Amino acid sequence: MSDSTRPPIAAKRPVSSTYHGITLTDDYAWLRDPGYPEVTDAEILAHVEAENAYFEAQMAPHQARVDALFKEMRARIKEDDATVPQKDGDFEYWSEFEEGGQYRKFYRRPAGTDEKHLILDCPALAEGLEYFKLGALSVSEDGRYLAYSTDTTGGEFFTGFIKDLESGALLPDRIENVNTDLVWAAGDSVIVYGRANEQWRVDRIFAHRVGEMSEDIELYHEAQLGFTASPGLSSNREWLMIGAGDNETSEVWLLPASDPFATPLLVKARQTGVEYDVDVRDDTLFVLTNDTHVNFRLATAPLSAPAEWTPLIEGSDEFYITGFDLFRDFYTVEGRLAGLDQIQIRYYDDPARVESIDFPQDTFTAGLGNNPEWAMEKLRLHYQSPITPDTVYDYDVASRALEVLKVQEVPSGFDPDLYTVERLHITARDGAEVPVSVMYRKDRPAGGPLHLYAYGAYGYAVPPGFSVTRLSLVDRGVAYAIAHIRGGDDLGREWYLAGKMQARTNTFNDFVDVARGLVAMGYTAAGKISASGGSAGGELMGAVINQAPELWGAIVAHVPFVDVLNTMLDESLPLTPGEWPEWGNPIESREMFELIRSYSPYDQVRAQAYPPMLVTAGLNDPRVTYWEPAKWVAKLRELKTDDNVLLLKTNMGAGHGGKSGRFEGLRETAEEVAFVLWQLGVEG
């Protein structure tokens, strides 16, 4: 029996492989179960469970604080909360949490009435399950049927169901291995969806005939390794759209929604590095693409010649277009200007007319919400900032007036006047100016502890939004900072490109330089900084502790992508081929092999002091497999020269997102905050 008071020590069983004349030796490769995604190897499970026991033993003295933090965080959440109803056709739809409920219930009512009807009861569906996640949710055009999908393992293989909303009964249909939206077509007689294969890749689009148990009909097969496919509908619901692509290239096919079995119309053949997205109004195709400008442009084309794109909004160095939506009488363009969200209303008959929706603060996040109807007159949108709870508006397009529909309630109280929010710019080592959003209490002593967060990959811009859980740090004197580092597209597409492939190390350098800049500016001190990141942000954590371990007082790495080289060398893994455009292909390119090896956190662990660390994993995670954090922690235990605590917690019945249910996830957040406060020596 293992001693849970001592850190587990994994056996070393070297496995060697050679690429480009370079031999790699992996002492901990045995932690990967050869039967994955089934994990049944008794020795592997025993090691993972020993790590969990060690985590529990080390956190046991701090359980009272975890409980107090959980209670505090839960008190900031309105438990019997509901979304604002939104009209779609003959009905208005919304969802609710009941008091103490872990999962939502979904409702509708005939528009303009108070006749409340429960259409999906997720608490009932989740009853008795260790894990439950709702995937797609889609009501048929005539309002009779509800199609939905669920995952009960965390492995992200969803099963689709169809419910008759008139009788309340489930149809016998079962749609297996769904991993896309469920799209109604052919007069509500067909559901179009994408099916995940054994490698968790969606390479085929099928049509399922409602109420029939016959084999589903394949509409599209994506043959290119690394490309995935997904279905959607045009805004006017007249066209079925099948998109295919990877992280840098895309292609779209169109089919009449009334006849998904017709011959598909190719918009434009794929061209490496060119991304595009489309929508349709009447006989005109609208295309958002980066073909002539890195920050994208909006173009149009006749449906009769869909590849002949005519400029509508030219690409701009200043305004980065991130999306557009078509409506009957106008269209919207979303983007970012100087890193801040923008929403524009534009008109088909007057291209020069541009109406921007203005927001008052220096750092915020804003965007369109659910606007399902073609003839919208009021647009639903959301706005928040680090000190502004999520606010739901309706924007009257004709009068240009904003109407507040709902402000996120904090039952235990929240006073924005207690806090300061700043937008800083810190110069990185190569001269780049990195934006940083900082929040702290006005009564916080200068130079105190600070928590630094970032993601830095896939062009994802971390929004400077509101968080009730963040207050548990900030109210104890810990400043909270978001580093808008390269790898995200916070300052435009170039900002993203400057943190990927050959430029990947800019992401790690930016984070370290932001930390050092915050020290130099007097916000904190070396050793008083905690940091966290998940998935690719977990890779960031691994890289920065190798580069500058002295800066960090605590590190939290959630499902960290740290075994980058081995994963990118294994094309049998679910995501690898589709990830090569993001990280590089080390199988084909010696240059990328050597670059990835030079920063891959697992490969770069060495004999030095490391900060205290909490690492998480999910046994069923198809995105970052459980063995990546397990191997990383094993190697850190072997080589680190310090006595700082190193914890690994693996969710045995969950995947990439951790435990399901809003309060189970909240308890894990309380554990994270308790760990950070413990290591930073913060009382209270």
Positive or negative: CA dihedral 429, 485, 416, 396: positive
61 secondary structure, DSSP code: G
Neighbours of 32 (CB within 10 A): 22
77 secondary structure, DSSP code: S
| Contact (CB, 8 A) for 289 and 296 | yes
From CA 233, how far away is CA 92, in angstroms rounded? 20
Strand order in the sheet with 250-256: 228-233, 239-245, 250-256, 265-266
Among this protein's residues, is 535 annotated catalytic?
yes
From CA 399, how far away is CA 395, in angstroms rounded? 9
Does residue 37 have a cis peptide bond before it, meaning omega lies within 30 degrees of 0?
yes
Q: Which residues contact 459 (CB under 8 A, 6 or more apart)?
A: 487, 488, 489, 493, 496
From CA 147, how far away is CA 161, in angstroms rounded? 6
Query: 419-427 and 388-396 as β-strands: parallel, antiparallel, unpaired?
Result: unpaired
From CA 671, how far away is CA 511, in angstroms rounded? 24
Query: For residue 569, is it left (φ>0), alpha (ψ between -120 and 50) or beta?
Result: alpha
Among this protein's residues, is 656 annotated catalytic?
yes
Q: Which H or E element spans position 677?
A: helix 662-680
- Structure tokens given for 561: 């992508």
| Catalytic annotation, pick one of 47, 208, 558, 656 | 656
Q: What is the DSSP string of 92-120?
A: EEEEEPPTT-SS-EEEEEETTS---EEEE
From CA 451, how far away is CA 533, in angstroms rounded? 11
Cα dihedral 594/598/599/603 (nearest 10): 100
| Contact (CB, 8 A) for 555 and 209 | no
Query: For residue 501, is it left (φ>0), alpha (ψ between -120 and 50) or beta?
Result: left
List beta partners, residue 392: 382, 406
**Backbone dihedral angles phi then psi of residue 431, each to the nearest 5 degrees:** 95, -10
| Contact (CB, 8 A) for 375 and 365 | no
| Catalytic annotation, pick one of 472, 603, 621, 660 | 621
Whole-number CA gyration radius for the chain = 25
3-state SS assignment for residue 476: coil
Q: Which residues contact 349 (CB under 8 A, 6 or more apart)?
A: none
363 secondary structure, DSSP code: S
E-assigned strands of 27-151? 86-88, 91-96, 105-110, 117-121, 133-139, 145-151
Among this protein's residues, is 293 annotated catalytic?
no
| Catalytic annotation, pick one of 535, 563, 600, 660 | 535
- Structure tokens given for 417: 């006047």
Positive or negative: CA dihedral 310, 314, 315, 321: negative
- Which residues are known catalytic residues? 535, 621, 656
